Structure 1
Amino acid sequence: MKKAALFLLGCVLLGACSGKDSFSPDDGDMQRALNVSLFESKDSQKKWILRADEVDFADLNSAVLHHPRLLLRENGQDSAQVSGDRGTFNYSQKLVSIEGNAQVRSFKEKVTLSTDRFFYDVDKDRIWSDKKTIIVRGPAKITARGGIETDSKLVKIEFKKQSTQLPHDLKQVPGVKA
């Protein structure tokens, strides 16, 4: 019985010592975090909240975001959300990029912007895209072939190389009786 106990203790000790000799901060998952929220507050009100399912902090200049959602706030209320498949947050430039099925939804203006990639400048509080962007508001659909630039409220949208698709039938226009 003593030999079996010593054998078991020896196996446990060998198993415990079989790991790496040293610790390295470059080890795979050591720089990752799940369900992360970053935000900026002013006068006890959050201006924006950046959430991601997973964040990789391995790069000292920027964080890599998986399934990011950037919630923009105005006067304590949610005003718009930018979302996509992946993105980055550059710490020094305070620049968020969201790409891969990127979409901006305005809660107040009832408008949706879709493209491959959006940028949000934290200091200037503006959103822009340098890619073809589709803007949908009600039945109207506008394509900005060269991208857009707007404030975070999506009130003033500047179109680059625009083309507009109007409704085919007056029945599709709200408030118009055909």
Structure 2
Amino acid sequence: MRENTVLVGAFLLLCGSPAPCVRADVIVLAEGPAVAGLRCEYRAGPLGIDSSTPRLSWVLESAKRGVVQSAYRVLVASNAARLAADEGDLWDSGKVVSSESAQVAYAGARLASRMQCHWKVMVWDGRGDASAWSAPARWTMGLLDRSEWRGEWIGAEVAPEYAARGRA
């Protein structure tokens, strides 16, 4: 017993007090599950997504062992203000009972070329405890229809002497 008292005393002496020895981010995670690592088509904040049904992924984080996702809710909005107001004008998945957190297909309103999509996720763990909303993320759509491409090939013209020799 005396050895334990000495060890605890030495620990407190080294730290100054118990409070500085505890990391704040661990305390936050201990309260429940958290969502991080939002990705669209395997990338964080991608530009030029050319799929009309992009796939979304996220990671469940918890300081506790054995925590699993039992459900999720995805909100996708056309601007950051709507997303901040919890308004998924493009897609609100509602609570979906599923452990899936990788490559969840977007199933909302039709997406247009060059559109910015802002999104966030909330999950529930196996005990039914909900996380807070994740930090917001976004992706930008590319050109979805071939007719929208207006580019032309950029390059030097072939010199006449090479064209005549069949090297063009």
Question: One fold, TM greater than 0.5?
Answer: no
Greater C-alpha Rg: 2
Determine which structure has the larger strand proportion and give its number: 1
Determine which structure has the larger helix proportion and give its number: 2
Q: TM-score, normalised by structure 2?
A: 0.27
Q: TM-score, normalised by structure 1?
A: 0.26
Q: Which structure has more RCO (C-alpha within 8 Å, separation ≥ 6)? A: 2
